[in-house]
Chain A
Amino acid sequence: MEERYAIPQLQDKTRLIRRHIITMTTAAGSGHPSSSLSAVEILVALYFGGVLRHDPSRPDWPDRDRFILSKGHGCPVLYAVLVERGYFPLEWLFTLRQIGSPLEGHPNMLRVPGLEASTGSLGQGLSIGLGHALAARLDGRDYHVYVLIGDGECDEGQVWEAAMGANKYKVDNLTAIMDYNHYQQTGYVPEVMPLEPLKEKWRAFGWHTIEVDGHDFGALFKAFKEAKATKGQPTVIIAHTVKGKGVSLIEKDRGNKFHGVPLTSEQAEVALKEIEEM
């Protein structure tokens, strides 16, 4: 159930997950590989590092921890992690975005075991997570709820409505992880809509705030531990990440041309080699 891998093994997993992300989006000919690549370590830590209490053979186990991908366009990373944890067969990955496939362009919880929410309209996942967290309180269960939000997503007022709501009810079984990859659809976050000072903002909304390198397993585990130990208030982990992490073509893409754009077969070939050498 709670299989815990050592860091070198986790790094192997990140290479595998990144390969899946590139392969499935290039095969699909569309999708958001760059927004998926920035969150790989976060999801690998949760699903393979023993953070999330879950059981792939019982996706509706009432006591499971919940993981909600609020930035739904980043679903390739979640699909890759779920498949590697055995939630569904590997073949599904290569049907991504095709008609009839359960793996749609954005997550549809009714079609994929292990998905906790249907997302894709940004800003809604934190409220949903808050609902799950309050249900735990009502039912006397001790599960924890993790919600991955994007940085651009924090432009949505609903994120801050949810932040206030979680503070009011002192919900401490809710952790938001912000994939702070600094780029949103049309450009650099500070140019599209300035979010800083973020740490102070979350703090002012009553949240315990942790800032980490979102690609550093040591830092992530420490942050998750601290989040779980924090009582009487929710926690946000601001995870600084690199959009397209592991693929130099996307990492260097300062114009963010690769948002929502898959790699060509030739680009994917180069990318897969780079990922092996990570």
Chain B
Amino acid sequence: MEFRLGKPTRLAFGEALLETGREDPNIVVVDGDVNNSTRTDLFAKEFPERFFNFGIAESNLVGVASGLAASGKTVFAASFACFIMCNAFDQLRMSVAFPNLNVKVVGSHSGISIGEDGPSQMGIEDVALACALPNFVVLVPADEHETRAATRAMARHLGPAYMRTGRPKFPLIYEKGCHFTIGAANLLRSGDDVTLIANGLMISRALQAAESLVQEGIEARVLDMHTVKPIDRQAVITAARETGAIVTAEEHLAAGGMGSQVARVVAENYPVPVKMVAIEDTYAQSGKPEELLEEYGLTAERIVARAKEALSLKK
């Protein structure tokens, strides 16, 4: 199964932000001097008066976003996933999550597929941190079309939200103008033997894994868990009940990521074997994106292997 490559999701976000900004004059953007990386530069060029670059100062830009939101603005605060979530975590906790303000945080350069710049620039803990913020919604879109839809959904949603985007071109999964509902997982493939729950870049790999499994007579269900919080509990419980085995796949640390959220729902509601494909307890290194994904086990082959392990434990 081959996928056409679409745009990088960071670019799709930048384009969608510009379109949304044209429709809604209440949208304001704050930047930590990385707008040509996060692609908020597209918005900045057209709406310079609604765009504020606060320099390399994530704590301040999140605090300013809080004040703008408290005075009624819909604020997009974008930087690299690792910098905005890690450097400004306390500001996100105290100035955004706790007072439940309308700030949309977007972290680009998520995962290890950023490649050559190496681990200091890789956001591999951002989803876990965002999930640890009450009131926050956490989104991980799969391709350019879903990113556009997610950006619009995020702008409409009242309250704090986090979305991660990626640096490379993402395989195309969806059609242009696809539907997106926060909190509702998308069923991408039907099957009753095992469920592969993925998001972001790992969706294409989960679909490839499902295709390989067919050759062994295994029909895998594939879910796009684009919303990690609030997680689609019903989709997870139904998958556990109907397929009896689950594999999660994400470009994030295993600790506290989407797989952890899925495992909790399964453990509390309908215990069945769950196996995870994620970055184990380590930092990555510089390299080509494909080499890194291979090196750290974020592959279709690994999903297939984990699916077989889960199936062997199935009662």
Contact = CB atoms under 8 A, between A and B. Distances in A.
Interface of A: 62, 66, 108-110, 116-121, 123-124, 126-136, 138-139, 157-158, 161-162, 164-165, 168-169
Nearest to B68: A131
Contacts of A169: 52
Grouping DSSP codes into helix (H, G, I), strand (E, B) and loop, the A interface class, with mixed when no group exceeds half, is helix
A128 B93 contact: no
A131 B71 contact: yes
B63 A138 contact: no
Interface in B79-97: 90-91, 93-95
Contacts of A66: 71
A132 B50 contact: no
Contacts of B60: 127, 130, 158, 161-162, 164-165
Nearest to B25: A138
A133 to B, nearest CB: 8
B6 interface: no
B94 A120 contact: yes
A135 B54 CA distance: 15
Nearest to A118: B99
Contact of B68 (A118, A132, A158, A162): A132
Contacts of B52: 134, 165, 169
B54 A165 contact: yes
A207 to B, nearest CB: 15
B255 interface: no
A130 B63 contact: yes
A91 to B, nearest CB: 25
B99 A110 contact: yes
B243 interface: no
13 contacts: A108-B98, A110-B99, A118-B94, A124-B66, A128-B64, A131-B64, A131-B70, A133-B67, A136-B71, A138-B49, A161-B60, A168-B54, A168-B55
A136 B60 CA distance: 18
Contacts of A132: 67-68, 70-71
A62 B75 CA distance: 18
A136 B70 CA distance: 11
A135 B90 contact: no
B91 A130 contact: no
A259 B62 CA distance: 29
A131 B69 contact: yes
B99 A124 contact: no
A251 B66 CA distance: 36
A87 B72 CA distance: 21
Given A118-B94, A127-B62, A134-B67, 4 more contacts: A121-B94, A127-B64, A131-B65, A132-B71
B165 interface: no
Contact of B71 (A135, A158, A165): A135
Contacts of B64: 127-128, 130-131, 134, 162, 165
A23 B295 CA distance: 64
B28 A124 contact: no
Secondary structure at the B interface, as helix, strand, loop or mixed, is helix
Contacts of B40: none
Which of A117, A120, A164, A168 has its CB near the most chain B CB atoms (within 10 A)?
A117
Nearest to B64: A131
B33 to A, nearest CB: 12
A86 to B, nearest CB: 22
A157 B90 CA distance: 13
Contacts of B69: 131
A110 B97 CA distance: 12
B68 A135 contact: yes
Given A124-B94, A130-B64, A117 B59 contact: no
A62 B72 contact: yes
A131 B98 contact: no
Interface string B83-118: 000000011011100111000000000000000000
Nearest to B54: A165
B57 interface: yes
Contacts of A109: 70, 99
Nearest to B59: A158
B73 interface: yes
Contacts of B67: 117, 127-135
Given A128-B70, A161-B54, A119 B94 contact: yes
A228 B98 CA distance: 31
B68 to A, nearest CB: 4
Nearest to A158: B59
Given A131-B67, A135-B73, A164 B95 contact: no
A140 B25 CA distance: 13
A110 B71 CA distance: 14
Per CB-CB distance, the 3 closest pairs between chain A and chain B, nearest first, are: A131-B67, A127-B63, A135-B71
A129 to B, nearest CB: 6
Contacts of B72: 62, 135, 139
Contacts of B75: 131
Contacts of B63: 124, 126-128, 130-131, 158, 162
Residue of A130, A164, A168 most packed against chain B (CB within 10 A):
A130
Contacts of B55: 161, 164-165, 168
Contacts of A138: 28, 49-50, 73
A128 B95 contact: yes
A66 B67 CA distance: 10
B64 to A, nearest CB: 4
